[in-house]
Amino acid sequence: MVILHAGNEQVNTHILDYFDKNNIPHEKRALKTGDYSFKIKECPELGFNKDTYFTDELCIERKNSVDEIAGNMVEKDDRFLKELNRMINIKDCYIIIEDSKLDDIITSNYKTKYNSLSFFRTLLTLEKRCNFYLKFVSKANMGFVIYEICKNNLDSKILKYIK
């Protein structure tokens, strides 16, 4: 498995350093949507006769903080809504918010004046409508979480069919 990361991802050195430190192969690649996904390198003994990409099966979108996602919503950022629309056709989607907690939304611990109840309800609605998982992860554990989401997707949905 090779973790794919979008070339436009900003400030992700801590994640790539985690991959390097743990000998996790990764590759910079343009992704249709999201910041991370994975591929399986050619491995005929497992039935992969060529490099096989799983970007239609898994999409991980990373947000730097609750501030970023609140800003997207206050500004009615079309890019964010378009990103969510592209995710609708992907089987498993995750939005992981770095160095924030759900409590930051509930207690209005973010920079915009977006009403916390509206923010929370909008996220719940989008999560259901666009079918994604919302996770809050510390910066220190971001690389680990991205790897484990990819590995779990591979193990539970792809390799379970290979004996």
pLDDT digits (tens, 9 = 90+) for 33-92: 899 999 999 988 878 899 999 999 999 999 999 998 888 877 666 778 888 888 888 989
Residue 150, SS3? helix
What value does the mean pLDDT take over residues 135-154? 95
Q: Domain total for the chain?
A: 1
pLDDT tens-digit readout, 95-116? 999 999 999 999 999 988 889 9
- Residue ranges making up the domain that contains 45: 2-161
Of 24, 43, 62, nearest in space to 158 by CA? 43
**Residue 50 region, left (φ>0) first, then alpha (ψ -120 to 50), else beta?**
beta
Which domain CATH number covers 136?
3.40.50.10130
pLDDT value for 45: 83
What value does the mean pLDDT take over residues 140-144? 96
pLDDT value for 130: 86
Tokens 């509206």 correspond to 118
pLDDT value for 23: 97
Give the pair of three-digit tokens for residue 130: 């666009």
Give the pair of three-digit tokens for residue 135: 């996770």
